[in-house]
């Protein structure tokens, strides 16, 4: 809901006044909108004046500045500005080389911008019009389509051309070319609410999304069931690609746009699904934009825009721009070392230490154990999260899955020449980096400690050596976590395991047998934490609530130790080695 306002009827004027006060160092207000301040010493250029109703920020005034729009006309919320407002902004923006007026294809905008153009021409100002028609859902006829997030892409092309010194004919031609090359499809998750209104302009049925929304509060053309991110990406990409322009190239400039209430993190996630689909379709992605660029007040939803690039459009898309809401500066980015070069340098700098055959066999066992742990924790993610949610935030299962997944990828990418210390060191680094939080740090450090205790230079790896490594694993967690047995943490399962493992090995048991006996103890002690009250960690403030529920960390520790024991037992008959 649009909540902050005094008189809802004055919302558009009041928000613009605040925006002008904020950005008075780079724009000036005129009747109906804003105009960019001139750059000292810069030659005159074609004025690109964009606009439409309020409620779409950063469109339209947020795009005023060098390399983008010269001026923006701002109407009432979702309402075309008047012809007088358009005339006022265009007159102020004109630098003597002509004006291009550009806007989305809506009846009110077409009428008022058209009337203003006639008045400007009558006064000798050469004025052209470029209408944006990117919304593929609104009509099968291109000329009848609405302009939505593609406004951004078309405005960017004309602003860059004008900044480059192009004449009026060229700016107009490139604007029309940009529009002809641009396609958008959007979806709505919820409607938007006008200032002062008590309900949204439209609603989406529960469990559905509106396909093909407009940016003035228009609902989608039809409702479809809510989709997982992967399926939503597929829908957006397929719809836009199905409407690709005739003769289009294989280079595209994508815009994944949020409509006001969809969080940036959601858009980033969705982009991670969209990008592989574009690549799989044989497209070269050029400098994508992800964020809020053409919004609709507080509407929940997003849109995908593709502009198919030729050499001219690619140059304009890549060109610098500096506005209150959008900045693209090529020089700082060009000076950065490419990620591939950094990775190659890191790979060259990583020297795998010499390892004995015994250490390499132990490394193979570690790889098998990590893979088995990964499968186990994915199976148990929901259970662990449910246990953790009783007195925590319910993320233990997710965190463990992220950590072990990263560890598995790390060990699988490590060559077979590596020993167990190197392999588990890489696994620990990856776990800590990916999982984050206290649990991630503890598990990452403990895996490193286990590997370091075994080393890469042993000629044999005896059961007693593994016991010492397990002790190092536990000691690392004690030192970092500053917890003790009885605090209702994973140590309540781990420390009894180490004691039992040492006792069994000292009595002559083979390592797989000793490990499995000790793992059963760990599971029993993990279950017994249900009777304990947490004294450290996130569960401590809800100590009483946690009574009767075992600790999630202790539970996962028992599960992991049990699964590792199964791996050791399965490997021993084949290899005849303790590890």
What percent of the chain shows pLDDT beyond 70?
Answer: 94
> Which residues, other chains included, contact 32 with Cβ-Cβ below 8 Å and sequence gap of 6+?
73, 74, 81, 82, 84, 85, 86, 88, 89
Residue range 385-402: mean pLDDT, rounded: 87
Residue range 241-249: mean pLDDT, rounded: 95
- Residue 54 forms beta bridges with which residues? 77
Reduce the secondary structure of 9-77 to three states and give it as a string: HHHHHHHHHHHHHHCCCCEEEECCEEEECCCCCCCCCCEEEEEEEECCCCCCHHHECCCCECEEEEEEE
Report the catalytic residues.
216
> Looking at residue 66, what is its pLDDT?
97
Give the whole-angstrom CA distance, residue 72 versus residue 61.
5
Give the pLDDT confidence of 546-573 residue by residue, as tens digits.
Answer: 678 999 999 999 999 999 999 999 997 6
> Looking at residue 294, what is its pLDDT?
97
> Looking at residue 577, what is its pLDDT?
45
Band (222; pLDDT cuts 50, 70, 90): confident
> Which residues, other chains included, contact 479 with Cβ-Cβ below 8 Å and sequence gap of 6+?
none
pTM for the model: 0.70
What percent of the chain shows pLDDT beyond 90?
Answer: 81
Band (347; pLDDT cuts 50, 70, 90): low
Q: CA 27 → CA 64, 97, 179, 578, distances in Å?
A: 8, 20, 27, 74
Residue range 36-57: mean pLDDT, rounded: 96
Residue range 182-193: mean pLDDT, rounded: 93
Band (391; pLDDT cuts 50, 70, 90): low
> Looking at residue 576, what is its pLDDT?
46
Give the whole-angstrom CA distance, residue 537 versus residue 392.
9
Tell me the three state secondary structure of residue 530: helix
Both structure tokens of 13: 């004027």
**Residue 103 clears pLDDT 60, i.e. is over it:** yes
**Residue 477 clears pLDDT 90, i.e. is over it:** yes
Give the pLDDT confidence of 48-72 residue by residue, as tens digits.
Answer: 999 999 999 999 999 999 999 999 9
Question: What is residue 256's DSSP assignment?
Answer: E
Band (200; pLDDT cuts 50, 70, 90): confident
In what helix (H) or strand (E) does residue 183 lie, and over which residues does it extend?
A: strand 182-190
In what helix (H) or strand (E) does residue 129 lie, and over which residues does it extend?
A: strand 127-132
**Residue 539 clears pLDDT 70, i.e. is over it:** no
Burial zone of 426 (CB within 10 Å; 0-12 exposed, 13-18 middle, 19+ buried): buried
> Looking at residue 117, what is its pLDDT?
98
**Residue 145 clears pLDDT 70, i.e. is over it:** yes
């Amino acid at each position: 809901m649009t909540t902050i306002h005094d008189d809802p009827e004055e919302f558009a004027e009041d928000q613009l006044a605040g925006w002008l006060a904020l950005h008075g160092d780079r724009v000036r207000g005129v009747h109906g909108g804003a105009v960019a301040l001139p750059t000292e010493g810069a030659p005159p250029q074609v004025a690109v004046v964009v606009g439409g109703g309020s409620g779409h920020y950063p469109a339209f005034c947020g795009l005023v500045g060098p390399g983008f729009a010269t001026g923006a006309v701002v109407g009432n919320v979702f309402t075309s500005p008047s012809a007088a407002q358009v005339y006022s902004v265009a007159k102020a923006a004109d630098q003597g080389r002509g004006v291009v007026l550009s806007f989305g294809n809506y009846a009110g905008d077409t009428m008022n911008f058209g009337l203003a153009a006639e008045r400007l021409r009558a006064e000798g100002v050469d004025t052209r019009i470029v209408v944006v028609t990117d919304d593929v859902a609104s009509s099968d006829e291109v000329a009848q389509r609405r302009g939505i997030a593609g406004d951004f892409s078309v405005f960017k092309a004309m602003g860059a051309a004008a900044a480059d010194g192009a004449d009026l004919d060229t700016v107009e031609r490139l604007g029309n070319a940009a529009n002809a090359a641009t396609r958008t499809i959007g979806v709505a998750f919820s409607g938007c609410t006008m200032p002062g209104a008590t309900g949204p302009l439209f609603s989406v049925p529960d469990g559905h999304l509106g396909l093909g929304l407009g940016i003035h509060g228009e609902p989608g053309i039809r409702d479809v069931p809510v989709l997982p991110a992967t399926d939503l990406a597929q829908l957006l990409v397929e719809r836009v690609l199905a409407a690709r322009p005739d003769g289009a190239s294989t280079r595209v400039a994508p815009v994944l746009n949020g409509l006001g209430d969809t969080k940036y993190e959601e858009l980033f996630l969705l982009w991670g699904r969209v990008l592989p689909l574009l690549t799989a379709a044989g497209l070269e992605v050029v400098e994508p934009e992800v964020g809020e660029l053409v919004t609709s007040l507080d509407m929940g939803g997003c849109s995908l825009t593709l502009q198919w690039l030729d050499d001219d459009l690619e140059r304009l898309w890549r060109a610098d721009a500096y506005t209150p809401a959008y900045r693209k500066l090529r020089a700082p980015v060009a000076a950065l070392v490419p990620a591939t070069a950094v990775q190659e340098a890191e790979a060259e700098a990583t020297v795998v230490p010499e390892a004995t055959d015994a250490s390499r066999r132990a490394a193979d066992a570690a790889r098998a154990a990590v893979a088995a742990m990964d499968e186990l924790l994915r199976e148990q993610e929901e259970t662990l999260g449910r246990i953790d949610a009783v007195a925590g935030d319910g993320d233990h299962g997710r965190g463990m899955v992220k950590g072990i997944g990263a560890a598995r990828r790390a060990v699988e990418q490590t060559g077979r020449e590596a020993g167990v210390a190197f392999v588990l060191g890489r696994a620990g680094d990856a776990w800590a980096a990916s999982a984050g939080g206290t649990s991630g740090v503890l598990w990452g450090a403990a895996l490193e400690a286990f590997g370091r205790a075994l080393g890469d230079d042993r000629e044999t790896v005896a059961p007693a050596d593994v016991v010492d490594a397990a002790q190092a694993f536990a000691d690392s967690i004690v030192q970092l976590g500053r917890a003790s047995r009885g605090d209702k943490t994973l140590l309540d399962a781990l420390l009894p395991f180490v004691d039992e493992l040492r006792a069994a090995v000292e009595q002559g048991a083979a390592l797989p047998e000793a490990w499995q006996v000790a793992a059963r103890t760990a599971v029993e002690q993990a279950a017994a934490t249900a009777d304990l009250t947490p004294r450290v960690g996130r569960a401590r403030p809800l100590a009483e609530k946690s009574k009767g529920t075992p600790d999630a960390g202790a539970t996962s520790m028992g599960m992991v130790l049990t699964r590792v024991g199964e791996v050791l037992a399965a490997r021993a008959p084949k290899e005849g080695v303790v590890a």
